[in-house]
């Protein structure tokens, strides 16, 4: 009689199988890309009846190639390619999430592939590039440590790259394309490549990730930080988090996830008498909207609307039969901080690093100037009497609290 595998063993087995199939798929895609490129060359250089080369035929073929995704030049087949991992930063305010499958524009992913094609780094199309991403952040969410992986054009000789094989033997600082510098020159101001690293062809940005770390920024106001910290520590460990996520029954059947770290600490940013704090959460993987759901429950604890024990209640899926109705925390303060991998060390040339530093400093100064203008407007508001001002402030604060920290409707059983 066959032994039934546990959920953890089944997941491990499936992930191993996925890596095997990805490796085989990479080899086949590499062969397919070479075949297509050689076929295109033959169509471009078609001899005419006099034994010469038909200029008209060449021109039409070139136009056809230019319209094909990824084929920006007829000489692409002469370039070797290598599998690389890229560390990506983006400010998510104007994007409809990271992934481009939602058919909403702009997305971070669509902007990245525009840059790949504009710089002629993409050989073949997106599918042939064996593209993978670590996290699929939602609309408005930012990142300073997102990781993607794909095949890109390389200056190294074919025999010296991982073009269908694993292993790279050359010093990366001699002769290779400066991917960070080249891409950052054409990317929009709110997206930047932070570093790159050669990767084996069986690397997968999602399934090879050991852990992901998120940060959530918030103003302290009157929140009880000690109560929030007590509640947050209850999230650490392996639990069923179905009451802390947006249910995706069609694609997710196992809601157990492991939280490795929870921290809450002040930053050095203040505005008037208010201080900016940050929640740091690290886990092996996260469910859809899990971080934002956990954070809003912590806010309810901080406001005194719930006790820290509410975390125990929500983690007890036998007691809470279905997810309570509550609004998630805002997406704007959420940042994908980092993604951890084995043997992936990102690098950046000194020239690219200096340009990146100058750009980020400039962006910070721009936002500080905008903040100064809003502060100036605040100082120039029409003065109100103390009684009216206090009443207006109290009403506005109460409305914000009701919108941000709604009381959940818990469904419990005896």
Active centre residues (catalytic): 138
Look at the block and give the residue holding tokens 């059983």.
Answer: 413
State both tokens at 126: 């997106």
CA atoms 175, 177, 178, 182: torsion sign: positive
**Three-state secondary structure call for residue 325:** strand
> How far is 410 from 17, CA to CA, in rounded Å?
40
The one-character DSSP state at 107 is: -
CA angle 233, 249, 321 (to 5 degrees): 55
> How far is 282 from 295, CA to CA, in rounded Å?
13
If we measure between CA atoms, which residue out of 265, 267, 266 comes closest to residue 232?
Answer: 265
DSSP characters for 149-209?
EEEEEESS-GGGTTSSS----S-TTSSS--HHHHHHTTS-TTEEEEEEEE--TT--TTTT-
Quickly count: other Cβ atoms within 10 Å of residue 400's Cβ: 11
Q: What number of CA atoms fall less than 13 Å from residue 114's CA on the CB side?
A: 14
> How far is 23 from 86, CA to CA, in rounded Å?
19
CA atoms 140, 141, 144, 149: torsion sign: negative
């Amino acid at each position: 009689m066959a032994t039934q595998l546990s959920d953890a063993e089944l997941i491990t087995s499936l992930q191993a199988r996925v890596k095997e199939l990805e490796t085989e798929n990479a080899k086949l895609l590499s062969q397919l890309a070479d075949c297509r490129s050689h076929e295109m060359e033959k169509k471009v250089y078609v001899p005419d009846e006099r034994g010469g080369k038909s200029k008209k035929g060449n021109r039409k073929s070139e136009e056809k190639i230019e319209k094909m995704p990824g084929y920006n030049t007829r000489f692409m087949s002469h370039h070797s390619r290598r599998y690389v991992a890229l560390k990506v930063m983006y400010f998510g305010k104007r994007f409809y999430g990271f992934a481009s499958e939602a058919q909403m524009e702009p997305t971070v992913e669509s902007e990245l592939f525009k840059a790949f094609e504009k710089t002629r780094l993409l050989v073949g199309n997106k599918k042939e590039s064996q593209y993978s991403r670590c996290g699929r952040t939602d609309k408005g969410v930012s990142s300073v440590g997102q990781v993607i992986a794909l095949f890109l054009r390389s200056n190294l000789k074919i025999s010296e790259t991982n073009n269908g094989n694993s292993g790279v033997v050359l010093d990366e600082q001699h002769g290779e394309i400066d991917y960070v510098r080249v891409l950052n020159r054409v990317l929009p101001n709110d997206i930047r490549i932070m570093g790159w690293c050669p990767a084996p062809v069986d690397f997968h940005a999602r399934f090879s990730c050991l852990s992901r770390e998120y940060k959530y920024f918030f103003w302290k106001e009157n929140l009880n930080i000690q109560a929030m910290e007590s509640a947050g520590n209850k999230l650490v460990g392996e639990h069923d988090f179905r009451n802390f996520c947006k249910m995706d029954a069609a694609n997710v059947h196992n809601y157990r996830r492991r939280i490795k770290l929870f921290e809450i600490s002040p930053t050095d940013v203040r505005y008037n008498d208010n201080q900016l704090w940050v929640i740091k959460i690290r886990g092996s993987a996260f469910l859809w909207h899990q971080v934002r759901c956990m954070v809003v429950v912590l806010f309810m604890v901080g406001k005194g609307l719930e006790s820290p024990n509410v975390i125990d209640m929500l983690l007890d899926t036998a007691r809470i039969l279905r997810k309570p109705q509550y609004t998630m925390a805002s997406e704007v303060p959420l940042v994908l901080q980092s993604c951890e991998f084995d043997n992936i060390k990102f690098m950046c040339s000194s020239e690219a690093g200096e340009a990146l530093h100058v750009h980020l400093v400039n962006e910070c100064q721009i936002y500080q100037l905008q903040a100064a203008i809003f502060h100036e407007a605040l100082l120039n508001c029409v003065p109100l009497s103390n009684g009216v001002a206090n009443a207006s402030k109290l009403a506005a604060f109460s409305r914000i609290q009701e919108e941000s920290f709604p009381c959940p409707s818990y469904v419990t059983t005896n």
